[in-house]
Structure 1
Amino acid sequence: MLLEINLQAEEPIYTQIMYQVIEGIAKKQLKPGDELPSVRSLASDIGINFHTVNKAYQLLKQEGYILIHRQKGVVIHPDGVEKASEAFYAKLRRKVRPLIAESICRSVTKEEWGMLCMAIYEEIAPKEEQ
């Protein structure tokens, strides 16, 4: 999987790495058990500090997307990602709420918001899951 990191973006690099790995899993480009580059290898390839990659990997591990083994390295969680729980839905609401508020301030309608969400979902979700 090729990461596209924008060093000039407002979004922190570790967040860009995290979101791109998650999107790779969602698109089925990364499958359970697939190996990811080591922290040092990925940092070297991108040309960033290894602590930045380590932070992304630790957060991905904490959220259940990857496992980190001393001998095996970094792998996409072999059991797949856990299904959405009440805690996940609460987190989702917290993250989406400010985006909806900002959208309302900028006169984005409920219909436009729904169409945008559907378009993004269709871009990411594998065709068999739509």
Structure 2
Amino acid sequence: MLLQLDFSTATPIYQQIRDQIVRGIAEGELAPGERLPTVRALASECGVNAMTVSKAYQLLKQEGHVRGDRRGGTFVCEPDGSSDPNPGIVDALRMRLAELVAGGMSGKEVLALCERLLDEIAYR
């Protein structure tokens, strides 16, 4: 699993790992049931501390993107099919939309941007 980590940004490395795995799931690069590398293997591949990868995996588990345990491995979860989005994600999206509007974008421009970004995701 090749991740592109930026060590010069303010975004924590564990968050970058989490974000790229979520993006991989959304874009179909990581299929439901697919086994993720072990914490140690991914840490070695990325050149980061194993605790950093462990923190990313724990966050992914809490969010329901992956499942597993120490002995069996970590696997991508099947989508639950629920049409009710996570309230925390909705709140974060609401804030990002407010930031775009506060920055001067119109509602139409925001919707066009959202459509363009959704089109970039292969798996829906």
- TM-score with structure 2 setting the length: 0.88
Task: Please say if residues 67 and 74 of structure 1, whose CA atoms lie closer than 8 Å, have aligned partners that are also in contact.
Answer: yes
The residue number in structure 2 matching 1:2 is: 2
Tell me the distance in 2 between the aligned counterparts of 1:97 and 1:38: 34
Tell me the distance in 2 between the aligned counterparts of 1:30 and 1:85: 21
Tell me the distance in 2 between the aligned counterparts of 1:36 and 1:93: 27
The residue number in structure 1 matching 2:105 is: 108
Tell me the distance in 2 between the aligned counterparts of 1:43 and 1:65: 19
Alpha-carbon distance, 1:86 to partner: 4.0
* Root mean square deviation of aligned Cα: 1.7
The residue number in structure 1 matching 2:121 is: 124
Please show how residues 1-130 of structure 1 align to structure 2 within 5 Å. Answer: 1-77=1-77, 80-84=78-82, 86=84, 88=86, 90-126=87-123, 129=124
SS at match of 1:67: strand
Tell me the distance in 1 between the aligned counterparts of 2:32 and 2:90: 27
Identity %: 39
Unmatched segments (≥5 aa) in structure 2? none
Distance 1:59-1:85 versus aligned 2 partners, 3 A rule: farther
Unmatched segments (≥5 aa) in structure 1? none
Tell me the distance in 2 between the aligned counterparts of 1:72 and 1:42: 16
Task: Please say if residues 35 and 75 of structure 1, whose CA atoms lie closer than 8 Å, have aligned partners that are also in contact.
Answer: yes
Alpha-carbon distance, 1:85 to partner: 5.3
Distance 1:93-1:73 versus aligned 2 partners, 3 A rule: closer
Q: Aligned residue pairs: how many?
A: 124
Task: Please say if residues 64 and 82 of structure 1, whose CA atoms lie closer than 8 Å, have aligned partners that are also in contact.
Answer: no
- TM-score with structure 1 setting the length: 0.84
Tell me the distance in 2 between the aligned counterparts of 1:120 and 1:106: 18
